[in-house]
């Protein structure tokens, strides 16, 4: 270990210790405020939310959780840390690839780590839609992919077509197929995952399985290839919940490789990106009413 590395480590631990001290100080202060104003439920609720986020933040974790695994670059670990640090949005320079365009719609391939639609704040204005609109100003959002997911994205070219295609998605008449690499091959060759999902509010943007309040969520899976520590699976969502594929696979004990929200460290650091790709769309064309199919080859290999 170099002298500079040792110095950086010392400064890092010192800063964390100082911040933890003030964390505990303000935590106790807030608990006191909430306790003295029990008649104000909103105040107590807000204090509890603040305490939850602070106690689950990066700086409040024990030292062993504040260090990256031995085989992971420190810079990569900081960017992808799941315990409190939020990395800045750095969209790829790669532009979406136009696969099809006509008077009614546009089919494009979105690269990984690019938002489908603008996020909150001007720093998240760059997205697939705004990039498509540079060439086709009338492009309108029909559906979305997670930022880290690559693959097929559909845009409408009028409000009428947008409503028609959105209704097709909402009513489950659009056939969507994804390819993913998961941790450890599943025992079954194929099956149906039927687990209700709900927003995990304290851990946003995470979702979670909840059999009491969750919304019905179903995913069909089929194992295509098996490897020593991973498997290539084909996924067909029958519903369209947020993070549905990622939560369902993680709930089975086979998280998608590279998933910085739901995968354990071994699966997370096995790849440099989320191994999830929207590879096929089948739907009825709003102009001709004919069934059309669009496909996108998977850009990553199973490790």
In a 3-state reduction of DSSP, which class is residue 69? coil
Of the listed 138, 146, 260, 266, which one is catalytic? 146
Buried b (16+ CB within 10 A) or exposed e, 244-264: bbbbbbbebebbbbbbebbbe
> Tokens 């990256």 map to which residue?
68
In a 3-state reduction of DSSP, which class is residue 14? helix
∠ CA 249-252-255 to the nearest 5 degrees? 40
Buried b (16+ CB within 10 A) or exposed e, 80-115: bbeebeeeebebeeebbeeeebeebbbbbbbbbbbb
The CA distance from 42 to 270, in Å, is 43
CA distances (Å), 19 to each of 12, 22, 172, 191, 236, in order?
A: 11, 5, 49, 48, 46
In a 3-state reduction of DSSP, which class is residue 259? coil
Is 146 considered catalytic here? yes
The catalytic residue positions are: 146
């Amino acid at each position: 270990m170099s002298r500079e590395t040792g110095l950086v480590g010392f400064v890092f631990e010192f800063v964390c210790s100082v911040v933890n001290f003030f964390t505990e100080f303000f935590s106790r202060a807030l608990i006191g405020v909430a306790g003295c104003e029990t008649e104000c439920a909103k105040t107590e609720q807000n204090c509890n939310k603040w305490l939850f986020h602070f106690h689950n933040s990066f700086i409040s974790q024990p030292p062993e959780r504040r260090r990256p695994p031995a085989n992971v670059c420190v810079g990569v670990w900081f960017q992808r840390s799941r315990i409190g640090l939020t990395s800045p949005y750095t969209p790829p320079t790669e532009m979406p690839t136009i696969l099809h365009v006509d008077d009614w719609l546009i089919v494009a391939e979105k690269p990984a780590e690019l938002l489908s639609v603008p996020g909150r704040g001007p720093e998240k204005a760059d997205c697939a839609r705004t990039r498509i609109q540079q060439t086709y100003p009338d492009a309108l959002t029909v559906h979305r992919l997670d930022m880290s997911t690559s693959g097929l994205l559909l845009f409408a070219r009028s409000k009428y077509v947008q409503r028609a295609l959105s209704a097709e998605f909402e009513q489950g008449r659009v056939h969507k197929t994804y390819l993913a690499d998961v941790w450890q091959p599943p025992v079954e060759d194929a099956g149906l995952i039927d687990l209700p999902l709900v927003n995990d509010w304290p851990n946003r943007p995470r979702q979670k399985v909840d059999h009491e309040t969750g919304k019905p969520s179903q995913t069909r899976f089929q194992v295509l290839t098996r490897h020593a520590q991973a498997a290539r699976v084909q996924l067909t969502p029958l519903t369209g919940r947020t993070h549905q594929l990622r939560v369902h696979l993680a709930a089975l004990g086979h998280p998608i490789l590279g998933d910085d929200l739901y995968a354990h460290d071994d699966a997370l650091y096995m790849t440099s990106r989320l191994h999830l790709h929207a590879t096929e769309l089948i739907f009825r064309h709003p102009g001709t009413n004919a069934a059309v199919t669009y496909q996108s080859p998977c850009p990553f290999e199973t490790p």
